[in-house]
Structure formats: C-alpha cells, structure tokens
Structure 1
Amino acid sequence: MLPASDLWFARTSVANSAEKLLFCFPHGGGGTSAYRGWQSVLGSEVGVVPASLPGRESRSKEELTRSITGLSGDLVDPLLEFADRREVFLFGHSMGALIAYELAAALADKGRPPSGLIVSGAVAPHRPDLVGQIHQLPDDQFLAHVSALEGTPMGVLEESGLLDVLLPVLRADFHACETYVRRERPPLRIPMLAIGGEDDPRAPLDELARWGDLTDGEFDMKVLPGGHFYLSQDLKRFLAELRPFILGGGSKRG
C-alpha cells in the first residue's frame, strides 16, 4: 500500500530535492495534467507538486469528494509528510483556490503555516458567489455553463465516452464549490498573491482583490489578459508572475 503522501502527490526528482515546494490544486474537473510543463518553466529551485484528487486520473476508481473542507482536511497530513521541513507554497485555480485557502488555514492551525498562498480565478470565500447553483442543472444546461468557461475542450464535451467519465467529476466539483461555506476565523498571517484574468466573469477584479481581507500578511494582486482560464493563454508569462513570489519567500520582492 502506498504511503498517503504518495497517493495524493506525485514524486519527481525535482520535488524530492527542491527546498521550495509549490503544491498545486486543480480547477473543477481538472487534474494533475493541468500542471504539465510548469516544472520546466519554474526550474529546479521550485518543486512543482500537483495534487491527485479522488475520482480522477490514477484515482478514478475512488469515490469523488463533494466537500472543499473534506478535501483540505484529507490533504493536511499527506502534505506535511511529503514536505517534511521544506518551505511550502500553495497554489489553486478556481475550485483549487478554495482548497488551497482551507488547507493554508488547517496548516496554520497545526503550527505549520505555508510560506505563501497563491489564489487564482476565484471569488474570495467570504464574498457571495456570483454564479449561483449550477451543479443541479440538467446536463445540457450544466454543460453549456462549463463550456462558456472555456476550460474544457468542446471535443471532450461532445464525445460521449469522454463525457461519461468527466461529467460526474465536474458535477462533484461544482457541488463542492457551491456548498462550501467558509468558517469564520481570524485573517491568516501569511503572504498572499491573488492573480486573475482581466475579463474573467467568474472572478471579477474587484472581487479578486477581496482575498486581501483574509490575510494580515503581505498581499499583492496581479492581472493578466484573458478570461477564466487566462493562465493557459501564456503559461510562461503567468509563471513569471509566480516565480518572484515563491523565490522571495512570499514577498513581492523577487
């Protein structure tokens, strides 16, 4: 049986040796493949560690988790086991931002706060959701909404075999996001970077900025061209915004 850390996180030579680790949590319906290519751009100073969530990819036979707090709670011990005493940074896009935030709070409660939190393409969890309940819509309406976000290729949504696999994952992830309620707690005491697309309808810039309410640490916000999946339009430019934050230990100074 695999150790919990190896079940949740893929070990690579860079992740095994780097002193700074960037743990990455996916958008709704996403998986570890969303972070393909990140390691080569960020270089050997930062180990990119995508999270492998239940019900998808190598864990496709496991039951899907429909709770943000449930996922973050399950991730705490495996992450600490994987990281050991190394410096930890958390990144999440959309759904992943909520997981990363809850995980940061759980790690802080254990006396092991991350060195920095990077949230992308998400409304801050103490703010009202702008979209409403999507996960219970009929298939055609639900898929129309997913397609509008431009994160899932239309070929996937139109291919019945692929759709049979993806649809339950998407519904579970949207359910997790839409039923998540942030527990009232004091602001975190860690550096935070919020980053988003200038034309993202799901996370408008004034709402993205409200992540700053949730930390007493240094806060910065970056805006790049594009919509909800702006980061895939120019990956090198996007990662160039993350790299100074990580190498500077969460500071704005690179």
Structure 2
Amino acid sequence: MSPADLLPPRAAWFPRPVTGPAAAPPDPATAPLRLVCFPYAGGTVSAFRDWQQHLGDGVAVVPVQLPGRGLRLRETPYDTMEPLAEAVADALDEHRLAHDYALFGHSMGALLAYEVACALRRRGLPPPRHLFVSGSRAPHLYGDRADHALPDAALREVIRDLGGFGDQDTVGSAYFERRLPVLRADLRACERYGWRPRPPLDCPTTAFSATADPIATPQMVEAWRPYTTGSFLRRHLTGNHFFLNGGPSRGRLLAHLGTELDASGTTPHRKAAREATWTF
C-alpha cells in the first residue's frame, strides 16, 4: 500500500498548505480564487510552503503533489508530459477545482501548467483566469537537453550550478540520491517533450525570468508571448534558476503574484495591506 492510499483522494494530489498554528488555510472548494502551483523538476509542495500566508485569504494556494515524492514517494513518477498533464486535469476536474482558478509553474512546472491548461480547454472547462510561468523557456524551445541521462556526479553538478542547492553545496549525497529517480523522470518528461501546434490560450499571462538563469534566458521566456491572445507581461528578477526558493526576488515574485491575482478578481482590500508589508 502506498502512503497516498491512506490519504483522502484530494489530499494526495492537493495537500493543504501549512499557514501556522493560528490560522487554517482557506478551503479551495469555497475560496473566490484558487492558485494551482506546480513545482520544478524534482520539486515538492514545500516550494510553496508559506505562500498562503503571503497571499492571504482571498486566494487558496493549491500546491500539486506529483507522484513519486512526499507522501506519494512509493508511486511511480511520470516521465512523459502529456499523460501527467491529463492526470492532473482529471484530478482538478474530479475535485471541482477547475473553475475560478489561476495556474503557476516554475521551470518544468510552467510547462506542465501550460499543458494542463490545454487539457482542460479540450474538455470544455473554464480557462484559467491567469497563467504564471516562471524560470521556463517557451514550450517549443524544450527538447534540446539530455540532463536526465547524465551520470549521477555530473547531474549533481548541473543542479549545483543552477543554484538548486542554495548555499548548501555540501548537501548530503544520500539525500540527493533519494531524489534522483523523480528528478530523472521529471527531466526526461521535459527533455523528450515535443510541442505540437495548438491555438494560443486566451488568458492573461505573466512570465518571470531571472538575471543569472542560463536555461531560461530573457529571450527564451519572452518567447511565451504568442502562447496567449490575452495580455502578456514579462517581469525580470535578480537571481539564478531557483530564485523562487529564497532571496529578495522571492518576495518580489510573491508581491507581483498578489497584485495580479487581485486584478483577477480576488478581494481588493488585501492590496494595501500587502504593499505595506513588502519592502524592496
């Protein structure tokens, strides 16, 4: 039996975020807006661990726990993008979360968010109110790397050079080895991905690039522009590929998200309070 078998079905895919002892997170089923969040390759819902606190009660942060990690550790991770996107779309539809929602994805998560939006559109379900793509080249630019096939030591160096270990260059090899199966599966899904032409989405889209990100340069991120007929905004932040994990750009990212989610229809009174909280 998988640990996920012990969880309610929605909790397997969409575990509730932790907001601290004094506050319970808003219920995704009743919140005015859901922000569905997809992690980077090898990532878990911990990448979004305190987003709910920063974004407030007007939006329910819904991090997606993909198979092969967290309490789903014993499940086989997907290594192909389209079946994974269809499985996520199934879960969103089944649990009635595919309405009044926005999508956020970082790196692999951005590509997955796009494919999930396309899958939901094919089913005739409402489009996202906003698509946020972060640290990701446009879909048609994927498929030119083969990091998933590197030896362990070489792959570790790639992740280190991208900033995946933060300041902890001495992160234990045992920890890294435990993450290798899901990391390789995720990388394989991205690196074997082949974009096929489809009509652009019609939702507003914001794309985030970072100054020291060699695999999602400003030009590569700008290439998301034709993927929507709605408004398109690119924001350029300081940092490396994993800028959302820490540093000043993490705060700026969350501030931008809050402002644009307000414009998507969440409670507008949060804006003044949030702007008083953040300093730049």
Q: TM-score, normalised by structure 2?
A: 0.83
Shift of 1:77: 2.0
Within 2, Cα distance between the matches of 1:22 and 1:139? 34
**Amino acid in structure 2 at the alignment position of 1:115:** R
RMSD over aligned Cα, in angstroms? 2.1
Q: 1:65 to 1:145 in 2, by over 3 A?
A: same
Q: 1:95 to 1:85 in 2, by over 3 A?
A: closer
Give the counterpart of 2:222 among 199, 205, 209: 209
**Amino acid in structure 2 at the alignment position of 1:100:** A
Alignment length (residue pairs): 251
Within 2, Cα distance between the matches of 1:237 and 1:248? 17
**Amino acid in structure 1 at the alignment position of 2:15:** A
The reply on whether 1:243 has 2:255 as its aligned counterpart is no
Within 1, Cα distance between the matches of 2:110 and 2:228? 14
Determine what percentage of the aligned residue pairs are the same residue.
40
Shift of 1:152: 2.8
Equivalent pair of 1:150/1:228 in contact (CA under 8 Å):
yes
- The Cα offsets for residues 186-214 of structure 1, whole Å up to 9 and x where unpaired, read as 11111111012122111110110110111
Alignment match, 1:181: 194
Alignment match, 2:10: 5
Alignment match, 2:95: 82
Equivalent pair of 1:147/1:154 in contact (CA under 8 Å):
no
Within 1, Cα distance between the matches of 2:130 and 2:256? 14
Within 2, Cα distance between the matches of 1:200 and 1:67? 24
- Give SS of 1:27's match: coil
**Amino acid in structure 2 at the alignment position of 1:245:** E
Equivalent pair of 2:92/2:98 in contact (CA under 8 Å):
no
Gaps of 5+ in 1: none
Within 2, Cα distance between the matches of 1:156 and 1:15? 38
The reply on whether 1:97 has 2:110 as its aligned counterpart is yes
Within 2, Cα distance between the matches of 1:192 and 1:225? 20
- Give SS of 2:35's match: strand
Equivalent pair of 2:33/2:102 in contact (CA under 8 Å):
yes
**Amino acid in structure 2 at the alignment position of 1:62:** E
- Give SS of 1:135's match: helix
Alignment match, 2:21: none
Q: TM-score, normalised by structure 1?
A: 0.91
- The Cα offsets for residues 32-51 of structure 1, whole Å up to 9 and x where unpaired, read as 00101101000011110100
Aligned pairs (5 A) from 1:1-254:
4-11=9-16, 13-16=25-28, 17-84=30-97, 86-112=99-125, 113-127=127-141, 132-153=145-166, 155=168, 158-231=171-244, 232-234=246-248, 235-249=250-264
Within 2, Cα distance between the matches of 1:86 and 1:187? 19
Shift of 1:71: 1.1
Q: 1:97 to 1:207 in 2, by over 3 A?
A: same
Q: 1:158 to 1:87 in 2, by over 3 A?
A: same
**Amino acid in structure 2 at the alignment position of 1:174:** L
Within 2, Cα distance between the matches of 1:5 and 1:143? 33
